[in-house]
Amino acid sequence: MPFKTLTLEDGAVFAEQAAKHPLTGSDANFTNMFIWMNYYGFSWTREGDCLIVRSCPGEGEGECFCFPPLGDFKNAGVWDFAAASMEKPLFSRVPREAMEFVAKERPSWRIEPDRDNDDYVYLNEKLKTLSGRSMHQKKNHYNYFRQNHKHSLEPITPALHDELVAVEDKWLTSKLEAGVSESHLIKEKEAIHAILTHFDELGVAGLAVKVDGAIEAFSVGEMLNEDTVVVHVEKGNPELRGIYVALFSNFCGLIFPDAVYVNREQDLGLPGLRRSKESLKPLRMVEKFKIYPEP
């Protein structure tokens, strides 16, 4: 079966595979791949009982790579097939268990940590309640927000699309003014527009925070596996102290109250994002690795 370009209609195939082999990392989640399709250029095929996903970003945007095989990855021949599909073989976003299998079966292949793509995983209860000394400052920010802003919380529906896009545009403008790379921001804007446009088809859910009747922050996510929610989007007005705490705490508590863990994805090596995610004191990290197949 040749590689085919990833489309919205492929979601059922990936959902079926994830049901049989639950994901631990955020990268190969179908929604994630679909909304970032314009950036990463994903295509996929079947090999044995696995799905092989290949990424070829646009010119100047990075190197081509394959995700680890999705399914029963403990089959060295499937890894060989995926490696042979690339001109310069590279596996990226490889979780530890898959990496350890490859290290044993293909000891000549070079392996490197991929810290920038490690996922941050938190206890949902801790984010909901902001309990403990480590969350004291966050709780103070939230209390300030509640005491100083008349606000409301509203589950996201497609009817809010235009208002949410306006929030994203406002956020993007503030980042451009702060000197953040325009290329990256434009790609992120495209991803957010994709998830909002295909909200129902992707089966995601979200929460909007309104201040004085206007949306000032919103978050979108879905269940990654039976006990973990993954947060795909989190945007808000940075000028409103405490609004992000109000957002992530209520998003967890109201939209996904039964989830045990929250995967807030990676920091991509961005210093500000890393500080922000580390400040919430993750329970653990989903470690990722790069693997370079070599003779």
The tens digit of pLDDT for each residue in 143-164 reads: 999 999 999 999 999 889 999 9
The structure tokens listed for 148 are: 């100083």
Query: Is the pLDDT reported for residue 173 higher than 70?
Result: yes
Q: Is residue 277 part of a domain?
A: no
Is 93 in contact with 288 (CB distance < 8 Å)? yes
For residues 109 and 170, state if they share a domain: no
Angle at 212 between CA 208 and CA 215, to 5 degrees: 25
Whether 132 maps to a domain, the answer reads yes
Range 242-249 average pLDDT: 96
| CA 97 – CA 159 distance, rounded (Å) | 42
Q: What is residue 264's predicted lDDT score, i.e. its pLDDT?
A: 97
Place of tokens 């044995």: 48
Question: How far apart are the C-alpha atoms of 122 and 79, rounded to whole Å?
Answer: 31
Where residue 14 sits, what CATH number does that domain have?
A: 3.40.630.30
Same domain? For 258 and 151 the reply is yes
In 3D space, the residue among 76, 58, 68 whose CA is nearest the CA of residue 96 turns out to be 68
Mean pLDDT of the 282-293 span:
98
Mean per-residue pLDDT for 246-270?
Answer: 94
Q: Which residue has the higher pLDDT, 179 or 111?
A: 111
Decide if 125 is inside a domain.
yes
Q: Are residues 92 and 123 in the same domain?
A: no
Same domain, 189 and 215: yes
Structure confidence at residue 91 (pLDDT): 98
Within-domain flag for 273: no
Average pLDDT of the chain is 93
Indicate the number of domains in the chain. Answer: 2
- pLDDT value, residue 108: 96
The answer as to whether 295 is a domain residue is no
Residue range(s) defining the domain that contains residue 186: 119-265
Query: Do 157 and 109 belong together in one domain?
Result: no
Q: Which of 70, 85, 116 is the last residue of a domain?
A: 116
Asked if residue 272 belongs to a domain, the reply is: no
Ranges 91-105, 164-178, 241-255: which has the least confidence: 164-178
User: Predicted confidence band at 185 (pLDDT cuts at 50, 70, 90)?
Assistant: confident
Lowest mean pLDDT: which of 20-24, 43-47, 51-55, 171-175?
A: 171-175
pLDDT in tens, 261-272: 999 999 999 898
What mean pLDDT comes out for the span 203-226? Answer: 96
Percent of the chain with pLDDT over 70: 97
Residue 21: count other Cβ atoms within 10 Å of its Cβ: 17
155 and 62 both lie in a single domain: no
Is the domain of 106 the same as that of 148? no
- How would residue 61 be classed by pLDDT, with cut points 50, 70 and 90? low
User: Which tens digit of pLDDT belongs to each residue from 117-129?
Assistant: 999 999 999 999 9
Domain boundary among 67, 91, 116: 116
